[in-house]
Amino acid sequence: MIVNINGNDIFYELRGSENAKETVAFFNGVMASANSWGYQAALFEKMGYRVLLHDFKGQLKSGKPKGPYSFKEHAQEAKILMDKLGINKVHIVGTSYGGEVALRFAIDYPEYIKSVSVIDSVSEIDDKIRYFIDGWKRAAEEKDAKKFFFGMMPTIYGNSFIEKNMNMLSKRAEDMEKFPKDYFEGQIYLYETFLNDLNLTKELHKIKSPVLFILGEEDILKPRKFVEKMVAEIPESEFIVIPDCGHVAIFEKYDTVNSMLLGFIMKN
């Protein structure tokens, strides 16, 4: 479904029974789309939750107005979407860029939050992260799907996952060639947003809801030191590290992630 929010077309899906008592909203990583949560959405729908998925503006299925944007805008647009759908309490699960939006949402709209699960995310950046994302931006400017995918692949997947799944990853690179060309324009706006606007650390103490941090041990893009800093700022937080896992934990170790998410959300 497409809904207009603040003049932008936002794609969303709402799954599960209308009689479900609780809703889980999934916030995408920067390169991803609503369908990237297949392993998680199916489980939570089966367990009786309503499941809300959407693409941020700039992502694959939503509009791509000229950016950069802000994390406040993404959080506000998610809140407006929830209002339109009659959702006033939610468990948010966000990965990478989506985890950063989830933190911004929890700061700005605490009355909506039952719990927040943040996977492979940061609240600030350093020169190494900036270097990686600048490289992604340059690759996106070329609009060569295969070159783009294989260029960013070593920074987001763990070594053993790449070794075991090279055929599948090559297929994903081929599938990316079918994306509309404006996909890369949206990516550039999102990278610029990340580089220019991510500065949440000083506000994390405002989050009073339960927060679960999950990190792939081999995540070189957003490593452990950033998560430890966030945990120190949020009183009601837990931190779990997944061994032999890179940045895309929701895909690389989805069974492990699902168990962690389900236990945490049921507890809260």
Which tens digit of pLDDT belongs to each residue from 243-255?
Answer: 999 999 999 999 9
Angle between helices 145-156 and 166-176 in degrees, nearest 10: 140
Q: Is residue 182 situated within a structural domain?
A: no
**Confidence (pTM):** 0.97
Residue with tokens 């998410």: 261
pLDDT of residue 111: 98
Contacts for 81 with CB less than 8 Å, ≥ 6 apart: 3, 5, 10, 12, 52, 54
Residue with tokens 């943040």: 118
Q: Which residues of the chain have pLDDT under 50?
A: none
CATH number for 119: 3.40.50.1820
Q: What distance in Å separates the CA atoms of residue 172 and residue 166, rounded to the nearest whole number?
A: 10
Q: Is residue 20 situated within a structural domain?
A: yes
Is the four-CA dihedral 230, 225, 219, 242 of positive or negative sign?
A: negative
Q: Is residue 228 situated within a structural domain?
A: yes
Q: pLDDT tens for residues 193-240?
A: 999 999 999 999 999 999 999 999 999 999 999 999 999 999 899 999
Q: Is residue 147 situated within a structural domain?
A: no
Share of the chain above pLDDT 90, in %: 98
Q: Is residue 256 situated within a structural domain?
A: yes
Q: Is residue 176 situated within a structural domain?
A: no
Q: How many domains does the chain have?
A: 1
Query: Residue 2: what are its φ and ψ, rounded to 5°?
Result: -115, 130
Domain that holds residue 65: 2-124+199-267
How many other C-beta atoms can be found within 10 angstroms of the C-beta atom of residue 8? 17
Asked whether the beta carbons of 152 and 159 are under 8 A apart, the reply is: no
pLDDT of residue 192: 98
pLDDT of residue 181: 85
Residue with tokens 């309490």: 89
Asked whether the beta carbons of 30 and 97 are under 8 A apart, the reply is: yes
Q: Is residue 208 situated within a structural domain?
A: yes
* DSSP conformation class of 55: P
Q: Is residue 65 situated within a structural domain?
A: yes
